[in-house]
Chains A and B, each alone.
Chain A
Amino acid sequence: MEIPNVKERWTSKINEVTIGATKEQGGTRAKTITVGGQTTLPFLTFEGEIPNPAVIAGFVADTPPDWPDVLKNAIGSEINSPVEWAQKCVQEFGVDLISLKMVGADPSVKDASPADCAKVVQDVLKAVDVPLIIWGCGDEEKDNLILPECSQAARGENCLIGSAKESNYRTVVAICKADKHKIISEAPVDINIGKQVNILLQDAGFDLKDVVMFQTTAALGYGLDYVYTILERARTTGLKGDKLMAAPQICDVGGETWRIKEAVADEDVLPGWGKLEKRGPMWEAVCAAVYLQAGADIMIMAHPEAIKRFQNILNKLS
Chain B
Amino acid sequence: MILIGERINAGFKDIKQAILDKNGDAIKEWAIKQTNAKADYLDVNLGTASNKPEDLCWMIEMVQEAVDTPISIDNNRPAMLKEAIPVCKKPPLVNSVTAVEEKLNELLPIVAEHKASIIGLAMDEAGSPKTADKRVENAGKVFAKILEFGMEPEQLFLDPIVMPMKFMQEQAQEILKAVSQFTLFSDPPCHIVCGLSNISNGTTQKSLINRTYIAMMIAHGQDAAILDVMDDELVNSILTAELVMNKSIYADSYVEAFRK
Chain B nearest CB: distance from A198 CB in Å? 8
Residue from the set B154, B252, B257 with the largest chain A CB neighbour count within 10 Å: B257
- Asked if B249 is an interface residue, CB under 8 A from chain A, the answer is yes
Contact of B251 among A8, A9, A195 (CB under 8 A): A195
- Chain B residues, CB < 8 A from A195: 249-251
* Cβ-defined contact, B260 with A237, below 8 A: no
- Chain B residues, CB < 8 A from A242: 248-249
Chain A residue nearest to B248 in the complex (CB): A242
Give bound CA distance, A122 to B4, whole Å.
54
* Cβ-defined contact, A196 with B253, below 8 A: yes
* Cβ-defined contact, A203 with B249, below 8 A: no
- Chain B residues, CB < 8 A from A203: 253, 260
From 207 to 260 in chain B, residues with beta carbon under 8 angstroms from any chain A beta carbon are: 248-253, 256-257, 260
Give bound CA distance, A9 to B187, whole Å.
12
Chain B residue nearest to A203 in the complex (CB): B260
Chain B residue nearest to A192 in the complex (CB): B250
Chain A, 235-270, contact with B by CB distance < 8 Å: what is the 0/1 string? 001000010110000000000000000000000000
- Chain A residues, CB < 8 A from B256: 199
- Chain B residues, CB < 8 A from A32: none
From 171 to 189 in chain B, residues with beta carbon under 8 angstroms from any chain A beta carbon are: 188
Give bound CA distance, A193 to B253, whole Å.
10
Give bound CA distance, A39 to B201, whole Å.
43
CB-CB under 8 A for A196 and B248, given A202-B260, A244-B257: no
- Asked if A180 is an interface residue, CB under 8 A from chain B, the answer is no
- Chain A residues, CB < 8 A from B250: 192, 195
Give bound CA distance, A234 to B250, whole Å.
12
Give bound CA distance, A242 to B239, whole Å.
13
- Chain A residues, CB < 8 A from B257: 199, 202, 244
- Asked if A191 is an interface residue, CB under 8 A from chain B, the answer is yes
* Cβ-defined contact, B249 with A9, below 8 A: no
* Cβ-defined contact, A196 with B260, below 8 A: no
| Interface class of chain A by DSSP | helix
Chain A, 53-80, contact with B by CB distance < 8 Å: what is the 0/1 string? 0000000000000000000000000000
* Cβ-defined contact, B249 with A245, below 8 A: yes
- Asked if A119 is an interface residue, CB under 8 A from chain B, the answer is no
Give bound CA distance, A200 to B260, whole Å.
11
* Cβ-defined contact, A196 with B154, below 8 A: no
Chain A nearest CB: distance from B258 CB in Å? 10
Chain A residue nearest to B152 in the complex (CB): A9
- Asked if A209 is an interface residue, CB under 8 A from chain B, the answer is no
- Chain A residues, CB < 8 A from B260: 199, 202-203
CB-CB under 8 A for A192 and B249, given A9-B154, A202-B260: yes
From 69 to 115 in chain B, residues with beta carbon under 8 angstroms from any chain A beta carbon are: none
Chain A residue nearest to B250 in the complex (CB): A192
Give bound CA distance, A174 to B250, whole Å.
26
* Cβ-defined contact, B251 with A233, below 8 A: no
Chain A, 175-214, contact with B by CB distance < 8 Å: what is the 0/1 string? 0000000000000000111011011101100000000000
- Chain A residues, CB < 8 A from B252: 192, 196, 199
* Cβ-defined contact, B154 with A244, below 8 A: no
From 6 to 21 in chain A, residues with beta carbon under 8 angstroms from any chain B beta carbon are: 8-9
CB-CB under 8 A for A192 and B251, given A202-B260, A244-B257: yes
* Cβ-defined contact, A199 with B253, below 8 A: yes
- Chain B residues, CB < 8 A from A9: 154, 188
Give bound CA distance, A233 to B257, whole Å.
19
Chain B residue nearest to A196 in the complex (CB): B251
- Chain B residues, CB < 8 A from A191: 249
From 127 to 186 in chain B, residues with beta carbon under 8 angstroms from any chain A beta carbon are: 154
Chain B nearest CB: distance from A15 CB in Å? 16
Chain A residue nearest to B260 in the complex (CB): A202
- Point out residues on B near A: beta carbons under 8 Å: 154, 188, 248-253, 256-257, 260
Q: List 12 interface pairs A-B (beta carbons < 8 Å), by A numbering.
A: A195-B249, A195-B250, A196-B252, A199-B252, A199-B257, A200-B253, A203-B260, A234-B249, A237-B248, A242-B248, A244-B251, A245-B249
Give me 10 other A-B pairs in contact (C-beta within 8 A), A203-B260, A242-B248 excluded: A192-B249, A193-B251, A195-B249, A195-B251, A196-B252, A199-B253, A234-B249, A237-B248, A237-B249, A242-B249
Instruction: Rank and list the top 4 A-B pairs by shortest CB-CB distance, nearest first.
Output: A195-B251, A196-B251, A199-B257, A199-B253
